[in-house]
Copies of this chain bind each other. A is one copy, B any other.
């Protein structure tokens, strides 16, 4: 097997041979910055998923290495992400108690299942399946998910327990009623964290540059916001023993050392129970990964192979399930950071993995006083930019059906939950599509001046022949629209007793299925009974081949087939062409 063939399956062979010190330096910097960002994020997302914080760190080591070996993207940063963590929480929340052993086992099994599903889809080359999620559906889904995530963090920000309400309104009502229970210290820490995070996000980089720091350095430092927030609040809690005096919830003991090798439990009942959720987690995670990977790749003329991505993410998730982790995927903001921080190869991710490994081995004691409120603040700032109004506004102006499916998806996610919500959205877009293609646009056309162009009589001032009806069908003919077409044409014929010829212009017909073929045959017969001959023009090559295969044009009820509508009109129009107002 040549290096080229090998590289197709193990993309690492594309870049490793030519790897040099310069690349290492640049990957090293990116790897460090992502690690600094990922330690707090990983723990935060693990908490969001209802898991102990260290699970987020475990999920940020081996998966990154596996993706680095197999992924077709050079800069995608894999690890725990917000939406997938939320989906894990909602899935496991229904089957076992948060914090229980079975809950953790469920998370590991979810990682294994979604990994297996991704791997299977990749080997079966089913990458195209994600295309059936339309952009508006994804937008509505993300916005709603971000809201749900935000609400799920309220309890950490306010410092009192909030039962998982089924409806947003329930949760908000509960908060309003119990607002007196707010824990001032916790809330203060949350506010402080927000201020630090937002300051680093927008203010710090220009500030540093004004002191003559280079843009690279300034931007690199700006990425340290989460770390600074974590350090500052941790120190504050430790100094004033806020966990004792003001009972601020802290991360507390994080076991040192890597997780022992874990194996997903082969509990068939549980597997059957978790499978649908695992499939959705796999698809949603893949979707986020591949969209960010594509947009980054295009910036450097690199190519993303969707099926290779499925395999790489599948391996990453299986890796997570074997090392005490939970489902991972390519993170949007994190990959952007990795890219802008100068990552040129997956080596950056591997360096990140090593640094996280060191953290887990040596630095966990420092995390004891880390307040959960700070992690919640990090989550909120991260998911805030998932809320997307622009797509809705654009869709509303462009195509109401798309806007409608966005809105329905949004509310389905809020009311029915993330899993059902996205399925509802996807189904709805398919229904809309079928509905639209089932009642195609049918235009009567006429000749544009003395040209060979034929245009819609309603849109242009064209010439027609009272004995000839020229109809352009703007859709492929298939079972769902064939009856509609027949009714439309027969109705027009009934309106115009003078018509002798009906020319069907097929320039927009890309396919005719068996049902439509039957209908065309009966239509030809019924038209003939009504004294009208059915002709065709501008039939496409592939369509023509099929029709010839069944001797369609041998049909005695049928008129002729013309290469162009102009020819058809010249052949059939025997009287002076009359102007139509």
Using a CB–CB cutoff of 8 Å, the interface residues on chain A facing chain B are 128, 131-136, 295, 298-299, 301, 391, 394-395, 397-399, 401-403, 429-430, 433-434, 436-441, 452-453, 455-456, 459, 474-476, 478-484, 507-508, 510-511, 513-515, 517-518, 522, 526, 529-530, 540-542, 546, 549-550, 564
Interface contact B510-A507, CB-CB below 8 Å: no
Contact of A133 among B135, B479, B540 (CB under 8 A): B479
Chain A interface main SS type: helix
In the complex, residue of chain B having the shortest beta-carbon distance to the beta carbon of A134: B479
9 CB contacts below 8 A, A to B, read: A128-B439, A128-B483, A136-B514, A394-B514, A394-B550, A398-B514, A402-B514, A508-B508, A508-B540
The distance from the CB of A391 to the nearest CB of chain B, in whole angstroms, is 8
**Pick the contact of A540 from B136, B437, B474 — CB < 8 Å?**
B474
CA distance A133 to B518 in the complex (A): 14
User: Could you tell me if B132 and A480 are in contact, using CB atoms closer than 8 angstroms?
Assistant: yes
The answer to whether B131 touches A399, judged by C-beta atoms less than 8 angstroms apart, is: no
Q: Are A398 and B128 in contact (CB under 8 A)?
A: no
Q: CB-CB < 8 A to A456: which residues of B?
A: 541
A453: chain B residues at CB < 8 Å are 564
A438 contact from B131, B436, B518, B549, Cβ within 8 A:
B131
Q: Quick one: closest B residue to A433, CB to CB?
A: B478
Q: Is the CB of A483 within 8 A of B395?
A: no
Most B CB contacts (10 A, CB to CB) among A295, A513, A540 go to A513
Q: Looking at the complex, which one of B133, B401, B437, B513 makes contact with A134 (CB distance below 8 Å)?
A: B513
From the candidates B434, B441, B542, name the one contacting A132 in the complex (CB within 8 A). B434
A158 to chain B, nearest CB (A): 38
Q: Are A518 and B484 in contact (CB under 8 A)?
A: no
Query: With A398-B517, A452-B452 given, can you name 8 additional A-B contacts, CB distance below 8 Å?
Result: A131-B483, A134-B514, A394-B550, A398-B546, A398-B549, A430-B434, A441-B510, A453-B564
A391 to B511, CA, bound (A): 19
Known A478-B433, A564-B453: A484·B546 in contact at CB below 8 Å: no
- Interchain CB contact under 8 A, A479 and B434: no
Which residue from chain B places its CB closest to the CB of A453 in the assembled complex?
A: B564
The answer to whether B298 touches A529, judged by C-beta atoms less than 8 angstroms apart, is yes
Closest CB of chain B to A409's CB: distance in Å? 13
Closest to A481 in B: B131
9 smallest A-B Cβ distances: which pairs?
Answer: A134-B479, A402-B514, A135-B515, A474-B510, A134-B515, A395-B514, A131-B483, A298-B526, A398-B550
Closest CB-CB distance, A217 to chain B, in whole Å?
28
* Most chain B CB inside 10 Å of its own CB: which residue of A133, A479, A514: A514
CA distance A541 to B518 in the complex (A): 30
Q: In chain B, what residue has the closest Cβ to A305? A: B487
Contact call B474/A399, Cβ cutoff below 8 A: no
* Closest Cβ–Cβ distance, residue A458 to chain B (whole Å): 9
Closest to A406 in B: B514
Whether A131 contacts B484 by the Cβ 8 Å rule is yes
> Which B residues touch A131, using CB under 8 A?
438, 479-484
Q: Give Cα A436–Cα B478 distance, bound, in whole angstroms.
A: 11
Q: How far is the CB of A439 from chain B (nearest CB, A)?
A: 8
Report the separation of the CA atoms of residues A133 and B324 in the bound assembly, to the nearest whole angstrom.
49
Contact among B128, B402, B510 with A484 in the assembled complex (CB-CB below 8 Å): B128
Which of B135, B507, B526 is the one whose CB lies under 8 Å from A508? B507
In chain B, what residue has the closest Cβ to A487?
Answer: B306
| Residue from the list B441, B478, B507 in contact with A542, Cβ < 8 A | B441
A479 touching B394 in the complex, CB below 8 Å, given contacts A474-B540, A508-B510: no
In the complex, chain B residues whose CB is within 8 Å of the CB of A515: 134-136, 402
In the bound complex, what is the Cα–Cα distance between A213 and B376 (angstroms)?
Answer: 95
In angstroms, Cα B301 to Cα A530, docked, is 8
- Chain B contacts for A530, CB-based, 8 A: 301
A526: chain B residues at CB < 8 Å are 298
- Chain B residues within an 8 Å CB radius of A510: 440-441, 474-475, 508
> A540 to chain B: which residues have CB within 8 Å?
474, 508
The answer to whether B399 and A514 have CB atoms under 8 Å apart is yes
